[in-house]
Amino acid sequence: DAGVIQSPRHEVTEMGQEVTLRCKPISGHNSLFWYRQTMMRGLELLIYFNNNVPIDDSGMPEDRFSAKMPNASFSTLKIQPSEPRDSAVYFCASTLRDGRNQPQHFGDGTRLSIL
Amino acid sequence: QKEVEQNSGPLSVPEGAIASLNCTYSDRGSQSFFWYRQYSGKSPELIMFIYSNGDKEDGRFTAQLNKASQYVSLLIRDSQPSDSATYLCAVDVYNQGGKLIFGQGTELSVKP
């Protein structure tokens, strides 16, 4: 079975450019999570969706960050304009919520470098 | 502010020994507890999960949960060099739709 699929795997871009990260959750999963990981702050939850609806975006750093989930099989995280401090590894994870919190399964991540 | 605390390490153990990784959490309402392993440059990989007080064993791994003490641990028996990684403890936030809080991770080094 295919796991969580993220693209691109690496992104290097200049400050001020728009960055779009993509995620395809595991088929049948109904919850999707976007995380950011840095050495200083560890793994931080940015936003999560249940049944394609954003539930909690309190972790989104500022208005430059936005996320969408137009259907059950696709989500995007967009940064516009990007800044050097956004450099990090961004992970997408998915799970099936069936009344109990099942484990989240992570994609391989997108390593983002903003110059 | 819900918190999950782990010893940052590094924790160094000889090959064949038992590695003990510990985690405390602040949310008394938490119900689900997870251990992930993360190799350098890779994504977190689920190792164990536990919902009830007591021990849960899977091969060389044992998760232990004590909700009264708000404490969860992971034991790795017969540690191997391939177990060298960072171990992340994750705890759910009560009534928050599956939201998890991750600890900072404990770096484990198993010496041959």
Residues B2-57: tens digit of each pLDDT: 799 998 789 999 999 999 999 999 999 999 999 999 999 999 999 999 999 999 99
Contact A24, A82 (CB under 8 A): no
Residue of B95, B96, B99 to mutate, testing the A interface (most A Cβ within 10 Å of its Cβ): B99
Alpha-carbon torsion B69, B71, B76, B79, what sign? negative
Check CB contact of A45 with chain B, cutoff 8 Å.
yes
Per-residue model confidence (pLDDT) at position A97: 85
**Mean pLDDT within A40-55:** 94
B87 Cα distance to chain centroid: 6
Weakest-pLDDT range from A54-68, A93-107, B15-29: A93-107
The SS3 call for residue A99 is coil
A9 Cα distance to chain centroid: 12
Tell me: pLDDT of A46 over 80: yes
CA distance A17 to chain B (A): 25
Is the Cβ pair B42, A108 closer than 8 Å? Answer: yes
Question: Residue B46 is nearest to which of A97, A103, A107, comparing CB atoms?
Answer: A103
Question: What residues have CB less than 8 Å from A39, skipping those under 6 apart?
Answer: none
Is the Cβ pair A42, B102 closer than 8 Å? Answer: yes
Per-residue model confidence (pLDDT) at position B91: 95
Q: Name the residue type at position A7.
A: S
Check CB contact of A104 with chain B, cutoff 8 Å.
yes
Tell me: pLDDT of A101 over 90: no
Per-residue model confidence (pLDDT) at position B47: 96
Residues of B in contact with A103 (CB under 8 A): 34, 46, 49
Structure tokens at A44: 């931080």
Tell me: pLDDT of A13 over 90: yes
**pLDDT tier at B85, thresholds 50, 70, 90:** very high
User: What span, in angstroms and rounded, lies between the C-alpha atoms of B79 and B101?
Assistant: 27
Contact B25, B72 (CB under 8 A): yes
